[in-house]
Amino acid sequence: MTFARISGTGGYLPERVVTNAELESSVDTTDEWIRERTGIKRRHIAADNETTSDMAVEAAKRAIDSAGIDTEDIDLIIVATTTPDKVFPSTACIVQRRLGLKTIPAFDVHAACSGFIYALDVATRFVTTGGARNALIIGSETYSRILDWSDRSTCVLFGDGAGAVVLRASNDAGVLSTHIHSDGEFEELLHVPAGISSGYENVQQEAAFIKMKGNEVFRKAVSTLGAIARETLSGNSIRQEDIAWLVPHQANLRIITAAAKKLGLPMDRVIVTVDEHANTSSASIPLALDVAVRDGRIKKGDVLLFEAFGAGFTLSLIHISEPTRLC
């Protein structure tokens, strides 16, 4: 039996850092309020000439190097993003060109904050059925471009960045199960009310910004993440104590803490990086994973859960055994 196994991780954060103190001068907020409500201390913001694909390429190079393979060994690229460089072609195709790769499949997945897990689910199916041997999965976002920087309910929450993994075909267990869901009924709780075929006037007026009903999003996120976590545990006959680490979407600390409580996991078994880079949407899980692999917390043989909740609403969870980079 062929498994799909994480063999390398990489991350990239833009150089510019915006602290909570800096935001105090532009919106009605304080460092204390932001920390208490979200756990966020700072966020990284892409330079004016820095794109989603720029960050994706940097994270990809680091993941490929971590996996110990040549770039030419990559035979599938999937980029999870809601902030692509262009309407078309896909950001994945732009990344493909910049990595010097030709002919291999390359496409984007658009599932907001759940995007990385959705992309990992798709890539796992390619790998386990023989469609790819070394898949490159990237989450990359420039959310700073779709923020209203005068709206304290959203501008304090998000940042820019990219994370990537290499998913390799292996005889050893890797991704053991994936669970992805969506519910379009809640579309307007978290969305950008503008696009190409609808609300294009907002794009033309440079007013295509994130709108969010924060309290409702919080309640829905916590309840649904708890349900999908129970589905995963029962479906795979695993217990809470079998899980070495929960690697959640880094939305804010309150949601992360509530999700861990639903799973019965103490916070010392949860990877938290939201304080350092805020909510980077589809990039947040691979960024957190990369940090924890490189600092030695995640080790070969650990059982992990990835979980995410995003606009749509989308929700997803992946159960992984022995994720490794593992040089």
Catalytic residues: 113, 249, 279
Contact between 256 and 270 under an 8 Å Cβ cutoff? The reply is yes
Q: Can you tell me whether residue 35 is helix, strand or coil?
A: helix
Q: What is the dihedral of CA 179, 182, 183, 187, to 10 degrees?
A: 140
Nearest to residue 175, comparing CAs of 110, 129, 241, 227?
129
Q: What amino acid is encoded at 224 in this protein? A: T
CA atoms of 143 and 188, how far apart (whole Å)? 18
Q: E strands of the chain, at which residues?
A: 3-12, 16-19, 42-45, 76-80, 106-109, 134-142, 160-170, 175-182, 190-191, 211-212, 245-248, 303-310, 314-321
Contact between 327 and 68 under an 8 Å Cβ cutoff? The reply is yes
CA atoms of 163 and 9, how far apart (whole Å)? 8
Contact between 102 and 111 under an 8 Å Cβ cutoff? The reply is no
Contact between 309 and 252 under an 8 Å Cβ cutoff? The reply is no
Q: Rg of the Cα trace of the chain?
A: 18
Query: At how many degrees (to 10) do helices 115-128 and 284-294 cross?
Result: 70
If you ran DSSP here, which 8-state letter would residue 222 be given?
A: H
Convert 178-202 to b/e letters by CB count within 10 Å (16 or more is b).
Answer: bbbbbeeebeebbbbebeeeeeeee
Q: Can you tell me whether residue 134 is helix, strand or coil?
A: strand
Q: Can you tell me whether residue 70 is helix, strand or coil?
A: coil
